[in-house]
Amino acid sequence: MIGLGRYPLWLGVLFVCLAAVRPAWGQEQERPPLPDYLKASIADAIERGRNYLQRTQKPSGTWEEGGHRFGYAALPALTLLECGVSPNDAGIRAAADYIRRGVLGKDLINTYEVSLAILFLDRLGNPKDKPYVEILAARLIASQTPTGGWGYSTQWLDAKDTDKILSLIRRLEPLPLEHLLAGRVAGMDNPFVKREPVPSHELVRKRTVNVPKELVLLPCFTQFGTFPLKDPEKPPPGVPFLDRTDNSTTQFALLALWAARRKEYDIPITRTGSMAFMRFHTCQSPSGAWDYLYVNGGSGGTPTMINTGLLGMAIGHGIVKEMKLQDDPPVDEDPRILHGFKALAGHIGVPQDRVKDIPLPNLYFLWGLERVCMLYNVHLIGNRDWYHWGAEALVANQEPDGYWFKKDGYPGASPTIDTCFALMFLRRANLAKDLSAYLAFSPKKLNDGVLKLVPPPKVETKETLPPVVTVKPDPPKPEPPKVEEKKPEPPIQVAETKPTPPISGPPTGTPPPPAVQPAPPTASPAPSSGAGLWIVWSVVGLGGLLIIGGLVFFIASRNSSADDASDDEEEEEEVEDRPKTKKKPRSKR
């Protein structure tokens, strides 16, 4: 054994100091515990969902031979990998071969499918897939629009075009993202982060390469502000980088490109990621939310797109830290992120502590919620336990065959896609773990900032109750009905709550209904002490007068009682004799 005496004292002091230091990422939120019954139910639900996907795969390797067949190969296979299925599984190998054949053809150009193919091949981890990932990533880079987003289609590129674009981008300087992150770019505003703009010459960096004319208009080769921040009303056909965009396709492209930038592929995405951050920086609404379409200055918001906007914010911070630039403001102090989480908290329900009779949320929203919470490593948003709430709903709504499906939940919903989203949620899948490491902030500090923005919570039960709907009684008829009517029914209860008492009277402005039954007798209110004493004395006085009057009358009438006694007796006899007298009946003729 080596004694401590052989080492200098300062080395021991240094060791103690280093052991006491905790990185910012170590200041995590404490994960709320799940009840035991829910833990067991989640494990069973994952196994049943995984079995459903494995037994419904087509022999060709995809799960759907019609539209979006490459997406139907990539997403279920990616989900199975996240559920612990081996990369050497026969179904996984079949899906990978299906995707590889699609890359070499000309049909794999849909933005969703290109992005999912990259995510699947990256998760598969086969070094032989590097050329396929490069081709697909180049298609996404060449198809980004001036507003920093993507439409439904990408530019088809072969291997030669891919090499040309990637080599040019690698030689270009990055965009000045640190200035945009700090809100210092004129004309690119955000409702929460806006500072004094930097001089325009600081935003234009030297271009170190000569870009060919056929590529010079691609947004990945331009500077901030080269194009107006507006999608075209009528995009030209066949030009993906001038297409109309939406934030849904954009989030898939961002996730895929972040995976493609890893050292295994070394795809340059700093310029593309900076343009995407510009998009979400400029289209955040004052409510903190993001909408489906791009509108400079914001235009409302939807629950699913709030998740997308928070992903875009994380990409911007990750690129700045990767380039070792100033991260100002930090992630856990960025008002754009804090207000985004505040807006998101309003769409998360309360756990019901049961696994039945719970409505099924939008599964696309649930997957986006899980993805962004795992990315930021937050277990609570405000005071909402997002995983407990979502897991209960999923366990309660799994079909007997093991799948999930919510009809009309989102365009393109199907049992296969919904099942993938549900399993990703239950598995807490994080498709951008290295981005989480780059952010390196305090999730607890972030959520404390969100709590300061969230209004004080209302006192609520496990389930937020909608307002009680009451039925107004019909106005009374001119004449009261003669038959007995039923009593008015109590108001209709929409949720499970204590029964509301019946309506006690008509609404304001309507005449009172006729009384059908006499009201039950009610006890008179007790009089006050002064009024009660006055009534007692009045009764005693009246009784005394009656007694005195009765005595006077008795004495006055006693003298004449003897004279009238005989007359009374004769009258009495006459009265008693009258009923006994009968008339003789008349004879019939």
Average pLDDT over residues 380-409: 95
Res 403 pLDDT > 80 = yes
Question: What pTM, to 2 d.p., does this model score?
Answer: 0.74
Asked if residue 343 is part of any domain, the answer here is yes
| Nearest-5° Cα angle at 284, 279 to 285 | 150
Residue 39 belongs to some domain of the structure: yes
HSE-CB of 392 using CA atoms within 13 angstroms: 22
Q: Count CB neighbours of 336 within 10 A.
A: 22
How many whole angstroms separate alpha carbon 317 and alpha carbon 290?
18
Among 378-382, 475-479, 507-511, which is the least confidently predicted range? 507-511
Q: Does residue 427 sit within a domain?
A: yes
pLDDT of amino acid 168: 92
Sorted by sequence, the CB contacts under 8 Å of residue 517 that are 6+ apart come out as: 484
Whether 413 contacts 406, CB under 8 Å: yes
- Torsion, Cα 27 28 30 32, to 10 degrees, reads 170
> Alpha helix (H) ranges present in 440-560?
443-453, 529-558
CB atoms closer than 10 angstroms to residue 349: 19
Say if 304 falls within a structural domain.
Answer: yes
What are the residues whose beta carbons fall under 8 Å from the beta carbon of 39, sequence distance 6 or more?
none
Task: Indicate whether 535 belongs to any domain.
Answer: no
The answer to the question of residue 527 being in a domain is: no
* Alpha-carbon torsion angle 238, 241, 242, 247, nearest 10: 120
Q: Tens of pLDDT along 292-320?
A: 999 999 999 999 999 999 999 999 999 99
Range of the domain at 277: 24-453
Checking if the pLDDT of 132 tops 90, the result is yes
Residue 119 has pLDDT above 60, yes or no: yes
Task: Compute φ and ψ for 171, nearest 5 degrees.
Answer: -95, -5
Domain count, the chain: 1
DSSP annotation of 323 reads T
Q: Is residue 442 part of a domain?
A: yes
* Mean pLDDT, range 521-540, rounded to an integer: 49
Helices vs strands, H then E, count in the chain: 19, 0
Query: Does residue 209 contact residue 171 with C-beta atoms inside 8 Å?
Result: yes
For 155, residues 6+ apart whose C-beta sits below 8 A from its C-beta are: 109, 139, 142, 143, 240, 241
Instruction: Please tell me which residue, 149 or 491, carries the higher pLDDT value.
Output: 149
- CATH number of 379's domain: 1.50.10.20
Indicate the pLDDT class of residue 576, thresholds 50, 70 and 90. very low
Q: Is residue 480 part of a domain?
A: no
CA atoms within 13 A on the CB side of 448: 11
Paired strand residues for 381: 384
